[in-house]
């Protein structure tokens, strides 16, 4: 098996016939060890759906506005249907970024919203990984989809979406909603 791919624990021969989930290693500068147990697809689907619903409600209430002059149908499409694949890493990734009107940043990142995807570290366990899926989904929609980089990582908007999505999707039985 290539070094760039780690097997997911708990996989069965039945799962092998479906599209495999690949948990990539992070960067050695960020620990070089972690978890290879992915967030289940059903959980990702729930977390992203609830995150989207929360952001849509904020938009409808006037608490979330896109940059520029997007119409309501375009905003709804971005919030509710923007594809956001999840890349999972066994431990954090190393980033070197420059930001407008801010100091350049470099370091280990457990979660990243980048253009049309999100990256999530699995190192800190299942609860943290699931919360990162919701947080970075909201961050991606707000910053990259709606052009509101000023609200990326906002504890009010992004944090609220994460809190609600995690609460709904960790309730039993969330799959029966």
Query: Which residues fall within 8 angstroms of residue 105, CB to CB, at 6 or more apart?
Result: 95, 96, 97, 98, 99
Q: Strand, helix or coil at 15?
A: helix
Residue ranges per domain, the chain?
21-115+124-172
Interatomic CA distance for residues 62 and 57, integer angstroms: 9
Stated pTM of the model = 0.83
What tens-digit pLDDT sequence spans the chain (177 residues)?
233 333 333 333 333 334 557 799 989 999 888 999 999 999 999 999 999 999 999 999 999 999 988 999 999 999 999 999 999 999 999 888 765 556 667 889 999 998 899 999 999 999 999 999 999 999 999 999 999 999 988 889 999 999 999 999 998 665 455
Q: Is the peptide bond before 84 cis (omega within 30 degrees of 0)?
A: no
- The Cβ of residue 117 has, within 10 Å, a number of other Cβ atoms equal to 15
């Amino acid at each position: 098996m290539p070094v760039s791919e780690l097997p997911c624990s708990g996989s069965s021969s039945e799962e092998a016939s479906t599209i495999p989930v690949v948990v990539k290693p992070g960067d050695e500068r960020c620990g070089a060890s972690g978890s290879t147990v992915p967030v289940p697809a059903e959980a990702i689907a729930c977390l992203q759906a609830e995150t989207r619903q929360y952001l849509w409600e904020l938009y409808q209430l006037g608490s979330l506005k896109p940059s520029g002059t997007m119409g309501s149908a375009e905003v709804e499409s971005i919030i509710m249907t923007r594809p956001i694949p999840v890349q999972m890493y066994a431990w954090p990734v190393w980033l070197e970024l420059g930001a407008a009107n801010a100091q350049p940043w470099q370091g280990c990142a457990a979660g990243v919203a980048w253009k049309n995807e999100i990256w999530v570290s699995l190192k800190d366990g299942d609860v943290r990984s699931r919360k990162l899926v919701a947080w970075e989904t909201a961050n991606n929609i707000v910053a990259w989809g709606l052009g509101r980089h000023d609200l990326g990582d906002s504890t009010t908007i992004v944090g609220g979406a994460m809190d609600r999505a995690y609460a709904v999707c960790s309730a039993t039985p969330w799959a029966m909603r």
